[in-house]
Each structure stands twice: as C-alpha cells, then as structure tokens.
Amino acid sequence: MTTFISHGWRALAAALLLPCLAAAETVPLPRPRPPDLGATPDSAAIPLPPLRSAIPPAEEAPPKATPPSACQLRLGELAAFETLPPIIGENGCGIEDPVKIAAVLTKDGRRIAINPPATLRCITAEAVAYWVRDDIAAIAAALGSPLAAVANFDSYECRGRNRIFGAMISEHGKGNAIDIRALTLANGKHYELTDAQVDKAARERLKASACARFTTVLGPESDGYHENHIHVDLAERHGGYRICHWAVHDAFALIPLPRDRPPEAPPREE
C-alpha cells in the first residue's frame, strides 16, 4: 500500500512539473550587456558627497597693492597727492604713473593748494611741486603775503595741441603739462600771471624760474592760445631743445597812444 502511494505521488508530481519545465525552456533569457556600456555600477563607484570639515575654509587673500614708484616715494615729501591706476586713453593718450596732486608742502609745513587738484604723470608733478615750493612761494611772498593756492587751469586732458582737431597729441594728453592761471595769497589777494598790472619784476622772476625748470613755457604772444595763462611741460626734444615764449608786458606799454595829428588839422592854440 505504501509503495503504491509513493509511486502515485511521484507520478502526480511529474505530471505537474513537466509542463512548468517545458514552459521554462521557452522563456527567453536577457541579452548580454554590450561591452561599450562599461561595467555595472556598484555602490563603490557612486561618488559620495564630500565630508564637511570642521575647519572653515580660509578667506581669499585680498590682491596685493602695487608698491609706490620711486617717484611717488620722493613726491611724498613734497606734496599731498593721490595715486591713480594707469590711464589708457585713445590715440596715444594716457599716463603710466599718474598721480592727482592736491597741495604742495612747504619746508615749514604749510600747504599750498592746487585748485583744482591736477592729474599729472608723477615726474611732472614732482617738477611742479619743486617749482611751487622753491620758486613761486618766495616770489609770491614778495607781493605781500604767503602763497595760499595756485589756480590749475588745465592738467591731463586727452586732446590735440591747442584743442585743434587732427593736431598732434598735446603734452596734456600725456599728463606731462599743466596750465597755471593765477596765484592766491593768504591775505586773499588774487594775481593773474598774465596781468600787466601785477608787479613786473615778480612776473619776470616767475618767467625765469619756469624756463629754468621746464622744457616748454608758453604765455602771452607765444602762439595766440596762451594769452590768459602760462603753459609749462617737460616735453623731450632732440638735442635738448627748449621753448620759452612768454612776453612779460609792461603796464604802460599796453596803454594806447593818441594817434598822430592829421596834417590838415588846424594848428593847436598856444
């Protein structure tokens, strides 16, 4: 009896499993992974987010300031000024070592203002500072009071000479020139450098000092463009050629003389 049941169960199991085995043989297997897709990613290949450090990142160091030029170091003993980044203009204008000079320091510690502050190349600013401190201040004092300010008529400006379109670049366009119009004394008096009513000896001394320090000096009767101010610059020329054109007028020479009496006029009564 037991043998019969065992054989019966085996026959029943075989009958049930045969269809499943047959069906399993007909189920398609997945195709092999193409080689160009690379290996199957695993947990070790998945990038993990970086660990947060307990130490905060160091702050970026600020950019290092450009060290002062040798000229700026010298100028610091002569003037109050602001250093400027290099100026690059059109048509050749610009200044490699520009400064904005606001005042000249006298040997006794006073300040002589430059109104308004002048933008110049450092070497030119240095020459102007020496001229104001060592020459102009002493000449102005002879007029009755210490020098308080110098009127800056024009300094750096990208333009042609005499503002003529198409002309060569002015020394102003290189920061190499300054135009000075007047002096103001501590007592409030104001003196135009081209005013024939100002003491002629003082104006002659100003002219001589300017022509000794600068390579170009232009004033009244130079070219028609400098009748009301004095232009000075440090232009470099072949052979060290210098220009000094500044007519220091005499006040009496500007008074027009009466015209000659016409011959047909009646004789003067005695």
- The number of folded domains in the chain is 1
Quote the tokens at residue 197: 């009513």
CA distance 126 to 9: 119
38: left (phi over 0), alpha (psi -120 to 50) or beta: left
Domain span including residue 176: 70-199
CA distance 203 to 140: 10
Quote the tokens at residue 143: 């007029």
Tens of pLDDT along the chain (270 residues) come to 444 445 555 655 555 555 555 555 555 666 766 665 555 555 455 566 565 555 555 666 666 778 899 999 999 999 999 999 999 988 889 999 999 999 999 999 999 999 999 999 999 999 999 999 999 999 999 999 999 999 999 999 999 888 787 779 999 999 999 999 999 999 999 999 999 999 999 999 999 999 999 999 999 999 999 999 999 999 999 999 999 999 999 987 655 556 666 676 666 565
Residue 10 has a pLDDT of 61
Residue 261 has a pLDDT of 61
Task: Decide if 224 is inside a domain.
Answer: no
Task: Decide if 34 is inside a domain.
Answer: no
Task: Decide if 28 is inside a domain.
Answer: no
Task: Decide if 60 is inside a domain.
Answer: no
In eight-state DSSP terms, residue 230 is: E
Residue 137 has a pLDDT of 97
Task: Decide if 15 is inside a domain.
Answer: no
> What are the residues facing 82 on neighbouring strands?
100
pTM reported for the whole predicted model: 0.71
CB-based contact 203:142 (threshold 8 Å): no
Q: Give the SS3 label for residue 265.
A: coil
